[in-house]
Structures are given as C-alpha cells and as structure tokens.
Structure 1
Amino acid sequence: MHDTNSSSRPPIVVLCGSTRFWDQLAEAALYETAAGRIVLAPGCNLRKPHALWSTPDRADRIKRMLDDLHLRKIDLADDVLVVNPGGYIGDSTRREIDYASSLGKPIRYTHPVEGSDRD
C-alpha cells in the first residue's frame, strides 16, 4: 500500500489483465477510483472492431505499441491489480506481472491464482 504521508498525490494503480475481461477491468477501475486511487488501465480493446486496427498490419503494429505502453504504465504505478476472473492469466498478463515483480511493485489479484507462488 502506498504511504500517502510521503506524497501529496493519491496512489496510482495499474490494472493488468486480458481484454477478454473488458467489463471486469471497467468494474475494477470503478472500485479502485472510488477507493481514491488514480487508475491506469488498458485503453484499447483490440477484440472489438475499430478502424484503427482494421487490417492485420495495423492490428500488429498497434498491439506491439500498446504492449510497450502498458509496461510504461507499470513504471508509473505504485502497485498492480491483476484482473483475473476464474484465476485466468494469459501470456501477456504473465509478462506484465513478471515485469512489475522485477521492479518490486506490489501485486494484487482480483481472484486467487491456483498452482502459483504469487500472492
């Protein structure tokens, strides 16, 4: 937990998780915001059709950019909340967790992760 006495700003949390759980990410953002935290979250859902990623080339290019952008959000955050309904953690989310862990960021989960030593 962020020590609010050491800073004049509210703590920053970054949400990580698959965009297949877009509604759950939005719900987590709502609760985190209501708890007084600044929320950084995925801003694009590539699973929903849009002109920005309407071709495979565009989709690949923006996916790579968004993956890097999310790591920069982790850099800015005080802690990480993994939105993982049913305990699901995909490859991209696992990479983000590993990155956050390498930076010493506290990591929370919305659901238990079975068969894992992660908290």
Structure 2
Amino acid sequence: MSSPRPLTPEQKLADAKELLRLPPVVVICGSTRFMTEMNEADLRETTAGRIVVKPGCDMKSPHELWSDPAEAQALKVRLDELHRAKIRLADEVLVVGDYIGDSTRAEIAYARSLGKPVRFTHPEVDPDA
C-alpha cells in the first residue's frame, strides 16, 4: 500500500480558499495604458462578487518613485515578479484592452502554463485564438 502523495502548494492554496469560503480571485492583466479600463473592470468584477487584484503602478505616468531610470528598471523587474505572484494567487485572469504587448503576452502564457482560465474584454486579441 502506497502512502498518499503530499499536496502541492497550489492544491494547498485551493483547499485553503475553499475552507475560508473565499470568493473567486480575478487578476487583471493588460497594458497600463488601459488603467481606466482596468478600474472599470475592477468595479464590474467586484460587484459580481469576485476579489480583484490588478497592477498597482502605472509607470508610464510620472512619479518620484521611478523618476531615476536605474531605479525604474529595478522596480519594473520587482513589479513583474509581483504580478506573476498575483497570477499564481488568482483563480482566473481577465485581460483588459484591445492591444496585447510583450509583457501581457508573457503573462497570458504564464497563466495558461499554470492552467488558469483567461478571459478577455476584447477576445479578438487573444494570442492563441
């Protein structure tokens, strides 16, 4: 008789969410040029009863935190890793906007590699469609 396999971290997280009776978690992805649309998507997803996580910084808008180019590049790397963590946390991904750049394309591929469902506000931009 073999012993049961230990749970993966992903299985443990899914079990914890279920035990805590958490609503589905949606991560919003897309170019930060669509921050207004992301805020609207956040509103709609929240009122539909979902927990929403999304980009918290728009580095295309001026701010003292990323005014130095070297610091901005290091921050971008940290924010990209933080967003991948948000994707791992989420139950599904919502891609906002009618344009998919390299970063968003990589996020979609990462989410799909994890088996996360991916929805689009503009399905015609799905790189795998």
TM-score (norm 2): 0.82
3-state SS, counterpart of residue 15 of structure 1: strand
Of 64, 89, 97, which aligns to 1:51?
64
Unaligned segments of structure 2, at least 5 residues: 1-16
Q: How many residue pairs align between the two structures?
A: 113
CA distance in 2, matches of 1:39, 1:78: 10
1:117 positional shift: 3.3
Instruction: Tell me the equivalent position of 1:97.
Output: 108
Calculate the aligned-residue CA RMSD, in Å. 1.8
The yes-or-no answer on 1:74 pairing with 2:87 is yes
Point out where structure 1 has 5 or more consecutive residues left out of the alignment.
none
**Taking structure 1 as reference, are residues 47 and 79 closer, same or farther at Cα in structure 2, changes over 3 Å only?**
same
4+ runs of 1 displaced by more than 4 Å? Answer: 4-7
Q: 1:84: how far off? A: 2.0
C-alpha displacement at 1:89, in angstroms?
Answer: 0.5
Aligned residues with identical type, % of pairs: 58
Partners of 1:27 and 1:17 lie apart in 2 by 13
Amino acid at match of 2:96: V
Q: How big is each residue's C-alpha offset from its partner over 1:89-112, in whole Å with a ceiling of 9 and x where there is no partner?
A: 000000000000000000000012
Change (3 A) 1:89 1:114: closer
